[in-house]
Amino acid sequence: MAKQKKQPRPKAQTPKGFRDYFAHEVTERSDMLGKIAGVYHRYGFDALESAAVETVEALGKFLPDVDRPNEGVFAWQDEDDTWMALRYDLTAPLARVYAQHRNDLPTPYRRYAMGPVWRNEKPGPGRYRQFYQCDADTVGTASMAADAEICAMLADTLEEVGIPRGDYLVRVNNRKVLNGVLEAMGVTDEAQAADVLRTIDKFDKVGEQGVRELLGKGRLDASGAYIDGVGLSDEQAEPVLAFLTAKRATNADTLLKLTVAVEGSQIGQEGINELQSIVNLLEAQGYGEDRIVIDPSCVRGLGYYTGPVYEAELTFEILDEKGRKRQFGSVAGGGRYDGLVKRFTGQEVAATGVSIGVDRLLAALREKGRIKSQDQGPVVVTVMDRDRMADYQTMVAELRNAGIRAEVYLGNPKNFGNQLKYADKRNSPIAIIEGGDEKENGIVQIKDLYLGAKIAESASLEEWKGNPSQFEVPRDQMVAKVRDILAGQD
């Protein structure tokens, strides 16, 4: 009889494009989400937690193809042959929720949502297939006040989480202005208009000259490959360049330049009027050009949005992996998408909203040194006598009841040094020691582990002579002393 092969052990590794988040990372994200939710709630938005799974039909954008069903999403076929998928973003589920429950919801409906989304795309450095988003949307009003409010709220949110004024800008543009530019160019073919949109979307990468070349015959990219252009004449391309380079020192001057770029276009002028309305509403609330600006170079997502678009950009510099200075860039984006709910209802429903990339925003705060790199661990009650575990559990209960994070060491207590090593690995601020002698005398030893580490690192012990790192206190004063030490560490 042939010897049966052993089943190979599974590899202990995360799937490609995914990662694990440990204690301090989860705490950092939780703290940030709480701050963002506080701002959203203050603005009158209600929380919504929709399902992580939607039907592919509800997601709408991703349809099966021959080679790869539902490309872009993680999808599977249910037992009734319905294609299901993990949500790709938080906006498509909102459209489904609003269409499904619109008779029970207020109009307009203001909601915020936070949670992971999944994208079945090629991963890369800093680009994962699962990441967190923080959205806020208003559904059911065409008023520019809703768009102005989103921009103001976005500015407030950045400052709330620790991005100071001067380190960010909320940039605002309008798809209708671009439609006016297309009209002024004489571009009426949908396919050609889509090519122009894709070219405009490359403005931040290739600049004015690169866009000019791509709108014309084409250009050589950095690798030396030739990229075919849209095929427009220089005269046709001019309105696009005038649009993209219309940014001036003030919002008023920028709007004047845009007016020239869309001259003769009704839809273009409508877009400019909307931008002017947003500016007026923001100024009335005290939001000036140091925080929110009209910027025609804000072009991401113009193929999707139907009116105003906005993007939050962090303006401070960081060093890239090669040590070169670069601007941190975008951490949030959004705009008006009046056609999304129509897929379900057959009627156009006005909507506008923003999405914050939580992971990028956390990375920005780390770059600025605005968040701790390590979470504080629990107070550790050491075990000197395993037969007295009930005593140690009483001590830890007292600490927890006082609101102090604490735990009893549950490993092998034989080696006391290993207990302190454990506390160090947990980043514990304090260790509590009660051996037989301490128990008999009604005292406990309280060790300040942070101060002890500083003394150990110091080249000279003289400066620490008046700062002992271990204290002997009566048992009934244990909680009070722990509180004092923790307060000093903060």
For residue 185, how many C-alpha atoms fall within 13 Å in the half-sphere facing its CB? Answer: 28
What are 289-338's pLDDT values in tens digits? 999 999 998 887 767 789 999 999 998 877 666 667 777 888 999 999 98
- What mean pLDDT comes out for the span 176-184? 89
What are 426-463's pLDDT values in tens digits? 999 999 999 999 999 999 999 999 888 777 776 555 55
pLDDT computed for residue 460 by the predictor: 57
pLDDT computed for residue 62 by the predictor: 46
Higher pLDDT, 488 or 152: 152
- Banded model confidence at residue 474, pLDDT cuts 50, 70, 90: very high
> Above 60 in pLDDT, residue 9?
yes
pLDDT computed for residue 63 by the predictor: 38
pLDDT computed for residue 104 by the predictor: 97
- What mean pLDDT comes out for the span 276-289? 96
Query: Of all residues in the chain, what percent carry a pLDDT higher than 90?
Result: 58
Q: How far apart are CA 112 and CA 103, in angstroms?
A: 19
CATH architecture, domain defined by 379-489? 3-Layer(aba) Sandwich (3.40)
Rounded to 5 degrees, φ, ψ at 45 are -85, 145
pLDDT computed for residue 57 by the predictor: 87
pLDDT computed for residue 67 by the predictor: 43
pLDDT computed for residue 8 by the predictor: 86
- Banded model confidence at residue 65, pLDDT cuts 50, 70, 90: very low
Higher pLDDT, 62 or 474: 474
H-helix or E-strand containing 81? none
Higher pLDDT, 436 or 59: 436
pLDDT computed for residue 246 by the predictor: 87
- What mean pLDDT comes out for the span 154-169? 95
Q: Which two tokens stand for residue 477?
A: 């004063």
CB-based burial label for 415 (10 Å; 0-12, 13-18, 19+): exposed
Spacing of C-alpha 222 from chain mean position:
31
Q: Which fold has domain 15-142+369-375?
A: BirA Bifunctional Protein; domain 2 (3.30.930)
Q: Which two tokens stand for residue 373?
A: 């790199």
pLDDT computed for residue 150 by the predictor: 97
| Mean pLDDT score across all residues of the chain | 88
pLDDT computed for residue 282 by the predictor: 97
Cα distances (Å, whole numbers) of residue 66 to 70, 71, 81, 119, 382: 10, 10, 16, 19, 62
Rounded to 5 degrees, φ, ψ at 57 are -60, -40
- What mean pLDDT comes out for the span 37-57? 95
Q: How far apart are CA 336 and CA 142, in angstroms?
A: 9
Same fold, 15-142+369-375 and 379-489: no
Q: Which fold has domain 146-337?
A: BirA Bifunctional Protein; domain 2 (3.30.930)
Q: Give SS3 for 473.
A: strand
Ranges of each domain in the chain: 15-142+369-375, 146-337, 379-489
Q: Which is nearest to 341 in space by CA: 93, 117, 52?
A: 93
Check: CB of residue 332 under 8 Å from CB of residue 311. Answer: yes
What are 388-419's pLDDT values in tens digits? 999 999 999 999 999 999 999 999 988 999 99
- Banded model confidence at residue 87, pLDDT cuts 50, 70, 90: very high
